Chains A and B, each alone.
Chain A
Amino acid sequence: MSGQAATLSGVRAEREQVTTRPVRRRRRLGPGKPIRFGAFIGPLLLLAIWSIGSAAGWLDPRILSAPWTVVTTTSDLIADGRLQSNLLTSTQRAFVGLGLGIVLGTVLALLSGLSRIGEAVLDGPIQIKRAIPSLALLPLLILWLGIGETMKVTTITLGVFVPIYIHTHNGLRTIDSRYVELAQTVGLSRWTFIRKVVLPGALPGFLLGLRFAVTGAWLSLVVVEQINSTSGIGYMMELARTYGQTDIIIVGLVLYGVLGLLSDGAVRLIQRRALSWRRTLAD
């Protein structure tokens, strides 16, 4: 005890002679303040290197065309209407496939989510289908459906319906059972239950699935358009490959990128609108 008291008074004695110093700002260890328009710096730098490389003649135009060639090629393609018509064909294919896939995925998710028989019959095969990349089905689809539009749209549809199904089904199954109980106590009919509880409850899952589906639709499109196609952006690029026109290939790549970004942005906009009830929580 007395020993402890002695150390305590020793500590106190030390405390009484604290050396002081003016406050120094501590060195910051985090990454610091964000840079304005920082997201653009990397791409612009890449563009600059590309431009300088082309201008200095370090980049063989047969390997990679100069940026300005790509721009003039784009305006040429627009001028003779090739770009528009190919873009239209591609977009049509993507949208038809996407539309069919969304309907198929949603209907299957409802059937399998709302009835045990539906789940027993449907869920297994769809999970198996999910394990097979839809592009691996191409040889079979070409044998069955030929190389026409049906095959292309079918391939896109098969790639689209899986994420829609998975996420909608998951959304359905994770609806709080307390809401189901509520629906029972207020005596909702089955149809009203689906309309007022099931569909809005599964909407967040569905929209997440839609984002994957949109990306998947463009991916499938790229592949099907490079196989025995006579129109579309992929065909335009494939043709350019045969003639070694790297400028046209790059125009195609940029187009795919823009389309992907635009459609993802559109889905996110829908998401924000449709889930505004959640905004008070999330934002």
Chain B
Amino acid sequence: MATHAGGLTLSKAVEVRGLIRSYGDRAVLDDLDLSIAPGEFVALLGKSGSGKSTLLRALAGLDHDVTGTGELVVPENVSVVFQDSRLLPWARVLDNVVLGLRDADERGRKSLEEVGLAGRENAWPNELSGGEQQRVALARSLVREPALLLADEPFGALDALTRIKMHVLLRKLCAAHQPAVLLVTHDVDEAIVLADRVIVLDEGRLVAEERIELAPPRNAADPLFAAVRSRLLDALGVSL
């Protein structure tokens, strides 16, 4: 379904026009437009059932059982990080990182070093903590040098402290590798801390957009932060 821009240099990393996706009679994405610039970090917020995962799966080319129309342009090289680390339990950490790549062990090691797991190349995934497993998943994505990184609630299953560390790590990695990012999350603070732009999806349409121009480190105690948050919560239909 996704049209790949073979060899073209684009001013847009992602271009979505009139995207419609439906399960049976129920339209999940309803004439959606979205574009993401190269290197831009976009966070996608939405209630459960708002269609955020459907959009991400459409961009990843994983929506085999869904009917729909629309124009989708993504880069040649797309990586996906899932909510679960999705490491193959029977492959050692390094083999998981370089899965499907040829002669990439050296790059894989470097990538593990980047996520702070140097020396754990030969561990089994089951021997790692949840946070470490998710870092391996990040290494697996970034070793492919993607032009677009799709992340589906990647920190949703982690505890609050680990999540903060992962935010710092993800920002560092994105600064180093400069992929365009679409991060699906239900955590408003996470979206504001990480993203250049936050968009809100409701019933298959984009209903709000906030460009976040706060200087890092972004602090929830900042009144500007609080203002953005309350506008986003409003758009999500949560009133405090």
Contacts and interface: CB of A to CB of B under 8 A. Distances in A.
Contacts of B79: 185-186
Contact of A188 (B61, B80, B99): B99
Nearest to B140: A186
Given A185-B60, A186-B99, A200 B88 contact: yes
Contact of B100 (A181, A187, A277, A280): A187
A281 B144 CA distance: 30
A186 B144 contact: yes
A200 B90 contact: yes
Interface residues of B, number: 21
Contacts of B90: 200-201, 203, 277
Contacts of A276: 124
Nearest to B137: A182
A196 interface: yes
Contact of A178 (B86, B99, B100): B86
Contacts of A200: 88, 90-91
Interface in A171-226: 178-179, 181-189, 192, 196-197, 200-201, 203
Given A185-B79, A186-B99, A192-B100, A197 B126 contact: no
Contacts, number: 54
Interface string B205-218: 00000000000000
Contacts of B91: 196, 200, 277
B225 interface: no
Residue in B79, B89, B125, B140 whose Cβ sees the most chain A Cβ within 10 Å: B89
B118 interface: no
Contacts of A197: 88
A196 B79 CA distance: 19
A178 B80 CA distance: 12
Given A179-B86, A185-B79, A277 B126 contact: yes
B126 A181 contact: no
Contacts of A277: 89-91, 124-126
Contacts of A183: 100
Residue in A181, A192, A200, A203 whose Cβ sees the most chain B Cβ within 10 Å: A181
B88 A178 contact: no
B127 interface: yes
Contacts of A182: 82, 86, 88, 99
Nearest to B86: A182
Contact of B82 (A178, A188, A280): A178
Interface in B96-146: 99-100, 124-127, 140, 144
A183 B140 CA distance: 12
Contacts of A278: 89, 126
Given A185-B62, A200-B91, A281 B86 contact: no
Contacts of B89: 277-278
Interface of A: 178-179, 181-189, 192, 196-197, 200-201, 203, 276-278, 280-281
29 contacts: A178-B86, A179-B86, A179-B88, A181-B62, A182-B82, A182-B86, A182-B88, A182-B99, A184-B62, A185-B60, A185-B80, A186-B79, A186-B144, A189-B100, A196-B88, A196-B91, A196-B100, A200-B90, A200-B91, A203-B90, A276-B124, A277-B89, A277-B90, A277-B91, A277-B125, A277-B126, A278-B89, A278-B126, A280-B124
Q: Which 5 A-B pairs have the closest CB atoms?
A: A200-B90, A185-B80, A188-B100, A280-B126, A186-B100
